[in-house]
């Protein structure tokens, strides 16, 4: 079989990206994936679908507890390990021109925010979905806003271009709950236990926040393989 260079391939690429909106590595990965797509030979042939994943689905909604306080309630070794991980994420983010204020972040249940991400995709496709996710990341990591307060979600969604009446209707109902649960079930079926996780065209996977070069290699590899998944 003759393998075409990525630039000559006609393969369309869909990236499924499982992420949580309070995961710093997910934001870092999102930015790096976007950089990789920009560097790819055929960026317009790549579609990104952001899929829901809750790192702590049992966290009570609207229990607004600052992350430092929440860490303080954990066993010492566990809390120190989490602080070290967050400090590392902060350093990595700075290298990617992302600014985190992790001391101001508020622990939140992200189920409703994920539902609004699904709404954004329905209303405006991948572009609006990306804008919504970006706004939620900024709200959590830079502004210390709780992503499970209806009033906060209503304002943030409006700021990134979602129809306010549709947002209010979603928050007052269980609309898009099925989409979130479906994403999470698929994650379980794939054995995903952390975020971020990227699946390209259903067969090529990358876990964790990888360098831009690795995401670019993923795109090029899928492009030249085409439909051959053997």
Q: What is the CATH number of the domain that holds 98?
A: 3.40.30.10
Tokens matching residue 60:
């009570």
How many domains is the chain built from? 1
Q: Record the tokens describing residue 215, joined without a space.
A: 């995401």
| Predicted pLDDT at 1 | 41
Instruction: Give the list of residues 6+ apart from residue 166 with CB closer than 8 angstroms, or none.
Output: 119, 123
Asked whether residue 230 is assigned to any structural domain, the reply reads: no
* Residue 109 located in a structural domain: yes
Residue matched to tokens 């120190």? 80
Domain assignment present for residue 91? The answer is yes
Residue 130 zone, left/alpha/beta (φ > 0; ψ -120 to 50; rest): alpha
pLDDT tens, position by position, 167-226: 999 999 999 999 999 999 999 999 999 999 999 999 999 999 999 999 999 999 999 987
150, 112 Cβ separation under 8 angstroms: yes
pLDDT in tens, 100-155: 887 888 989 999 999 999 999 999 999 999 999 999 999 999 999 999 999 999 99
Using CB atoms within 10 Å of the CB of residue 185, give its burial: 0 to 12 exposed, 13 to 18 middle, 19+ buried. Answer: exposed
In a domain, 1, yes or no: no
Cβ atoms of residues 22 and 140 within 8 Å: yes
Does 85 have pLDDT greater than 80? no
Domain range holding 43?
6-225
């Amino acid at each position: 079989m003759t393998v075409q260079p990525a630039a000559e391939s006609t393969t369309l690429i869909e990236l499924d990206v499982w992420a949580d909106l309070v995961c710093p590595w997910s934001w870092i990965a999102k930015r790096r994936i976007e950089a990789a797509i920009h560097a790819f030979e055929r960026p317009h042939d790549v579609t990104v679908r952001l899929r829901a994943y809750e790192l702590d689905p049992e966290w009570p909604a609207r229990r607004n507890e600052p992350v430092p306080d929440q860490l303080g309630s954990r066993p010492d070794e566990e809390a120190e390990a989490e602080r070290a991980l967050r400090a590392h994420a902060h350093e990595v983010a700075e290298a990617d021109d992302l600014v985190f204020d992790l001391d101001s972040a508020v622990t939140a249940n992200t189920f409703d925010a994920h539902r609004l991400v699904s709404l954004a995709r329905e209303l405006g496709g991948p572009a609006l979905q990306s804008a919504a996710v970006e706004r939620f990341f900024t709200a959590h990591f830079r502004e210390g806003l709780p992503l499970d307060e209806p009033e906060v979600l209503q304002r943030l969604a409006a700021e990134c271009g979602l129809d306010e009446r549709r947002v209010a209707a979603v928050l007052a109902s269980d609309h898009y709950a099925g989409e979130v649960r479906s994403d999470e079930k698929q994650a379980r079926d794939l054995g995903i236990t952390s975020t971020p996780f990227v699946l390209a065209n259903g067969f090529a996977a990358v876990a964790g926040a990888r360098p831009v070069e690795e995401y670019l290699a993923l795109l090029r590899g899928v492009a030249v393989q085409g439909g051959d998944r053997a």
